[in-house]
Chains A and B, each alone.
Chain A
Amino acid sequence: MKQQHILTYFISSAFLLLFCVSVNAQNDSIPNTVNDSVKIKQKYGLRVGADIGKLIRTAVDDEYSGFEIIGDYRLKKKLYLAGEIGVEEKNNATDYLDITTKGSYFKGGIDYNAYQNWLDMDNMIYFGFRVGASSFSHTLNSFTVYNTNQYWGGQLSSDTPQEFNGLTAIWAELILGLKAELFTNLYMGLNVQLKVLASETEPGNFQNIYIPGFNKTYDSSRIGVGYSYTISYRIPLYKKDK
Chain B
Amino acid sequence: MKYFKYLFLPIMVLVIGITASCERDDICPESTSTTPSLIIDAFDIDNQEDVKNVFDLVVAGIGNNSVLPGYAITRTANLILPLKTTEDTTQYVLINEATINDNGTPDDTTDDFYDGNQDIITISYTREEVFVSRACGYKTIFKDVEVVVETDSDNWIQLIQPVNNPQSVEDETATHFNLFH
Contact = CB atoms under 8 A, between A and B. Distances in A.
A219 B139 CA distance: 17
B16 to A, nearest CB: 8
Interface in A164-191: 178, 180, 182, 188, 190
Interface string B82-94: 1111100010000
Interface in A127-150: 143-149
B35 A148 contact: yes
A147 B1 contact: no
A24 B68 CA distance: 93
Interface stretch (A1-9, A104-112, A205-213): A205-213
B127 interface: yes
Contacts of B18: 225
A143 B35 CA distance: 14
- Please classify how large the interface on chain A is, using the bins under 10, 10 to 19, 20 to 34, 35 or more: 35 or more
Contact of B84 (A92, A152, A209): A152
A158 B18 CA distance: 35
Contacts of B11: 178, 190
A207 B127 CA distance: 21
A29 B28 CA distance: 76
A156 B127 contact: yes
A121 interface: yes
B37 A149 contact: yes
A15 interface: no
A146 B8 contact: no
Contacts of A144: 137-138
B140 A156 contact: yes
B15 A146 contact: no
A12 interface: no
Interface in B1-50: 1, 4-5, 7-8, 11-12, 15, 18-19, 22, 25-26, 28, 30, 34-35, 37
27 contacts: A92-B134, A143-B129, A143-B138, A145-B129, A145-B140, A146-B28, A146-B34, A146-B137, A146-B139, A147-B34, A147-B85, A151-B61, A151-B64, A151-B66, A152-B82, A155-B140, A156-B86, A156-B129, A178-B11, A188-B8, A190-B8, A190-B15, A207-B134, A219-B134, A225-B18, A225-B22, A229-B12
Interface of B: 1, 4-5, 7-8, 11-12, 15, 18-19, 22, 25-26, 28, 30, 34-35, 37, 61, 64, 66, 68-69, 82-86, 90, 127, 129-140
